[in-house]
Amino acid sequence: MAQFMLLIRGEEEGEDTLSPEQIQHMIQKYSAWAGRLRKAGKLRDAAKLVDDSGNVLRHRGGEIVVDGPFTEAKEGIGGYFLIDANDYAEAIDIARECPGLRPGIAVEVRQIEV
C-alpha cells in the first residue's frame, strides 16, 4: 500500500465569496468525506492550514533567505489529506470525491516516497 498526499489548492480570493452558511456546509461535507475515508482505513491524517500565505526558504548566494508572506499569490494550499492507496489510479479516484473540488479549487495528488 502506498501513501499519497492530496493537496487542496485554491484561489485565495474565492473563499471571500462564500457565506458563513456555505462555509459551514463545506466543513460538514469535508468531515463526512474524511469520516468515510477513515472508516475505510484510507485516511492517515488531514488538516486545514492557517489562512495566510506562509513563507518560503531559499538558498541564495550562500545564505538561507526567507521570502514571504506572499500577498500577491493567486493560489494557495488550504489543507491536505494523507491517504493510503494501492496506486495513483486509486488515489485519483479518492481525490475525485473531494467535496472541495470545484471551479477555482484543485486537488494535487502526490505519492510519498517511503
- Mean pLDDT over all residues of the chain? 87
The pLDDT value recorded for residue 58 is 85
Cell of 6: 492530496
Three state DSSP letters for 7-48: EEEEEHHHHHHCCHHHHHHHHHHHHHHHHHHHHCCCEEEEEE
The pLDDT value recorded for residue 69 is 61
The pLDDT of 39-66, averaged and rounded, is 88
The pLDDT of 83-109, averaged and rounded, is 94
The answer to whether residues 108 and 10 touch, using CB atoms and an 8 Å cutoff, is no
All structural domains of the chain: 2-112 (3.30.70.1060)
State what percent of residues in the chain have pLDDT above 70: 87
pTM (global) more than 0.85:
no
Give the residue, 6 or 101, on which the prediction is more confident.
6
